Chains A and B, each alone.
Chain A
Amino acid sequence: GAGVSQSPRYKVAKRGQDVALRCDPISGHVSLFWYQQALGQGPEFLTYFQNEAQLDKSGLPSDRFFAERPEGSVSTLKIQRTQQEDSAVYLCASSLDGGVGANVLTFGAGSRLTVL
């Protein structure tokens, strides 16, 4: 597609439920990033993929968070046993290069998660 597509755009979950957020990056983009943006804050890095390899997951806040990109294109961010503090907008971004270039990220519109 022309841009980065994320689904669902809005998700309401009860505390303790598992959720899965999907990201369709721009076709051919090597790098894929997940960020978490809490209300009134800047995006916080969660994890980074280069093709199917997860090269950096240092930003995942707990072992309840899991991300995958099995075929090097679509990625899924899974949150198990959701807590209220997980409420945020989850942003996906992709970039063409996978190396040390000045990667310009193209962001999706985000998935807004509300945990009740």
Chain B
Amino acid sequence: AQSVAQPEDQVNVAEGNPLTVKCTYSVSGNPYLFWYVQYPNRGLQFLLKYITGDNLVKGSYGFEAEFNKSQTSFHLKKPSALVSDSALYFCAVRDLHRGGGGNKLTFGTGTQLKVEL
């Protein structure tokens, strides 16, 4: 079975500082990995994905994520945080192994990011 862990319920960072939101995953085969962001009363919005190739993936709004196969991690990063980045962030995985998760994404429990002035 596929699973995702987001060990931090909340991350606080000062505006202008770098931010990291952690994610680790477990799959039987090779993973597709995703980050989504959720603003209050709005649907989840896609940020970026890792399929194959370069381990550093760049996405929307200056976010990037680094795939680390040996550590089974896919941490979300941004070099300089903005107050407007404050939101709920979800990591998700899809297991490509036959008989794995099928076509569905499995989401983590989410990490609330708070960026303060």
Contacts and interface: CB of A to CB of B under 8 A. Distances in A.
The answer to whether A and B interact is yes
Interface residues of A, number: 29
A56 B102 contact: yes
Interface residues of B, number: 25
Contacts of B96: 100
Contact of A43 (B41, B42, B44, B102): B44
A31 B108 contact: no
A1 interface: no
Interface in B59-116: 90, 94, 96, 102-110
Most chain-B Cβ atoms within 10 A of its Cβ — which of A41, A42, A104?
A42
Contacts of B43: 3-4, 91, 93, 106-110
Given A48-B104, A104-B49, 18 more contacts: A31-B103, A33-B104, A35-B107, A41-B110, A42-B4, A42-B6, A42-B109, A45-B106, A48-B103, A50-B103, A59-B104, A91-B43, A100-B96, A102-B49, A102-B51, A103-B94, A103-B103, A108-B43
Interface of B: 4, 6, 32, 34, 36, 41-46, 49, 51, 90, 94, 96, 102-110
